[in-house]
Amino acid sequence: MQEKWKRRENVWEGADMALCLINPQKRKISVKKNEESQEALDRLQECLEEAQEGPVRLLERFWRDQAMVLTYAELRAIVTEDNIPGTVIDDWQRDYAKLIADKVTPVWRAAMAAGVRSNPVLDGMEIDAAALAKDWIADHGAELVTNLVEEQVQAIRYVMGESVRYQMGSAETAQYIRPVIGLTESQTAANMKYYNSIKEQMMENHPRMQKETIERKARESAARYASKQHRSRAETIARTEIVTAYHEGNDRAVRDGIRNNAFPRMRKEWSTSLDDKVCPACMALEGVAIDMEEEFSVKSGKRTITKMLPPLHPRCACAIKYVESSGKDAIIRADKIIEGHDRAPKEEKPGVVIDHIGKNGKADIRTYYDSLGMKRREVHTTDHGNSGQHPYGKNGEHVHIYAWDTDGRLKKRIVREVYETERKENGDIL
């Protein structure tokens, strides 16, 4: 075991790489956002651009070194015994635990500090977000180790199971495994399918070529594909972990300020870039403001996702804007009233709220305008007689979210459920 650890030492060389600054291409923002929301997004993007590349390279090298220290005897044992030896899993757990303690934790701490610096609510305050999140760092680190090892184990077990279907012998399978160490099960499935399709194509096109030569060439092609897959996986992990730590530190700092009466009761507001890269689930949360103790909730397909903070999903780059609360369960009051065939205009004075009165003399649509004076959100109290198109709530009540481009043209409209906070704010009409 001591010899094996000596061979693993190169995994931990180059500690400074973790914060290497290489900037990826910026996302194009082509939709109107108010200044505060846009600033929250821009500062998160700056953090990602400065911190992401180092962890990506570190993970790529980690998986490469982790694969190289596996002996052929261990690879053969995995295949012939149809099981992953406990010693190999133990080694992986130690590898990941050391990686997270030595390399990932400093990245989390830096992201937390960046989150605090980016929040205008916290300007001038001396806050050590990492100290406030000490318990989160320990718990999340342990959870991440478990998840990464489990994903790796499942991927290798997939190879062992599918090798029978692909009629791969034990020697061939053992040689194939090494390059896919570190990939997820779905990535491994794609790689294994690619490897065997290369083999089939070469056997068909070169019937006289030796079987060992075909397998070697297929392995080389699959290894190049695996390298691209490792890069993608590393980017997903790095981006998601940086965003998670950024928001965790920011949120804990705000909560600490509230506890110490540094500022009044606050609310958290979800902010997206409103561009074509935003998923429907995140777009549905655009502009939703809830109390600090509440969870954001949104439907994604048949699932309902609840989150205290972004990221909503891997690679999510949504931001949070913290705003002063107007009071517990405050009811929103309309600034203007329209009725009949009149409809709320696309533009109004910033912050205005307009109620439309229906045939029954009650408000059936409440329209909210953002700080740019653009119609951003509508709360509809009925299904407009079309329950199939609006299968929401008890009476078909639902919300429309609008996104406009810089020329004032409608770019996107999302229809979703009414959130609990919105029910409280619009309790007079719902």
For the question of whether the overall pTM of this predicted structure is more than 0.85, the answer is no
The predicted model gives 127-151 an average pLDDT of 92
Peptide linkage before 311 cis (omega within 30 of 0): yes
State how far the alpha carbon of 420 is from the alpha carbons of 47, 136, 289, 398, in Å: 32, 27, 11, 12
Look at 38 and 187; give whichever has higher pLDDT: 187
Q: Which residue has the tokens 């998601």?
A: 240
DSSP 293-304: TS-EEEEETTEE
What does the alpha-carbon distance between residue 229 and residue 430 come to, in Å, rounded to a whole number? 49
> Which pLDDT score is estimated for 57?
95
119 in Cβ contact with 254 (< 8 Å): yes
The SS3 of residue 288 is: coil
> String of b and e for 327-360 (b: at least 16 CB within 10 Å)?
eeeeebebeeebeeeeebeeebeeebbbbbbeee
DSSP code of 419?
P
What does the alpha-carbon distance between residue 321 and residue 121 come to, in Å, rounded to a whole number? 9
Assess whether pLDDT exceeds 70 at residue 8. no
What does the alpha-carbon distance between residue 214 and residue 198 come to, in Å, rounded to a whole number? 9
How does pLDDT run across 113-128, given as a tens digit for each residue?
Answer: 999 988 888 876 778 8
Question: Using CA of residue 70, residue 76, residue 79, residue 85, what is the dihedral sign?
Answer: negative
The SS3 of residue 411 is: strand
The whole-chain average pLDDT of the chain stands at 85
How does pLDDT run across 237-285, given as a tens digit for each residue?
Answer: 999 999 999 999 999 999 988 887 667 778 899 999 888 788 989 988 9
Q: Which of 38-52, 74-88, 342-356 has the lowest mean pLDDT?
A: 74-88
Long-range CB contacts (within 8 A, 24+) of 98-103: 98/11, 98/12, 99/11, 99/12, 99/58, 99/62, 100/141, 100/144, 100/145, 101/141, 102/12, 102/15, 103/12, 103/15, 103/18, 103/55, 103/58
Among candidate residues 185, 179, 270, 255, the one with its CA nearest the CA of residue 221? 179
